[in-house]
Amino acid sequence: MTVTDTIADMLTTIRNGLVLSKEFVHTPSSKLKLNILEIIKEEGYIKSYKEEEIRKGIKKIKITLSYVNGEPSIKLISRISKPGRRVYSKIKNLPSYFKGYGTTIVSTSKGIMTDKKARISNLSGEILCQIF
């Protein structure tokens, strides 16, 4: 089966793993996913991630999920910009998720970063996803 939106597939895998209280989940690897996971890890929503090679040229990412007192660290995770409907935002209109308690991940000309770093760097771009 061909997946057209690999980021949404990864976010859904994480969401489903949290609902089932799994320790870790796997998803196919890509540079974009690794950049997004690095931000999610820095923000404290997951414990870690590691890229593993299944066979030559085929890699997957093992994502270790984070829980606090048995509750998932991620309450909500959603994809904003989709292949059929891209969502771009100017710096003035960059959304703050849950009044700054959540994180919005933005793809800018200087790479993928959080909404807070984008405001500091005075950059705008495509809104990829939001996490709380």
Q: What whole-number distance in Å separates Cα of residue 64 and Cα of residue 120?
A: 30
Q: What angle do CA 113, 103, 49 make, to 5 degrees?
A: 70
Max CA separation in the chain (angstroms): 46
User: What pLDDT sits at residue 1?
Assistant: 59
Q: Tell me the β-bridge partners of 51.
A: 61
Q: Which pLDDT score is estimated for 40?
A: 95
Q: What is the mean pLDDT of residues 48-52?
A: 95
- Segment 49-65 shows an average pLDDT of 94
- What does the pLDDT look like over 59-115, one tens digit per residue? 999 999 999 998 999 999 999 999 989 999 998 888 777 777 889 999 999 999 999
> What integer pLDDT is reported at residue 52 of this predicted model?
94
Judge whether residue 31 has pLDDT over 90: yes
Is residue 117 scored above 80 in pLDDT? yes
CB 41, CB 98: distance < 8 Å: no
Does position 2 have pLDDT exceeding 80, yes or no?
Answer: no
State the pLDDT confidence band at 4, using cuts at 50, 70 and 90: confident
- pTM (whole model) above 0.85: yes
Question: Strand, helix or coil at 15?
Answer: helix
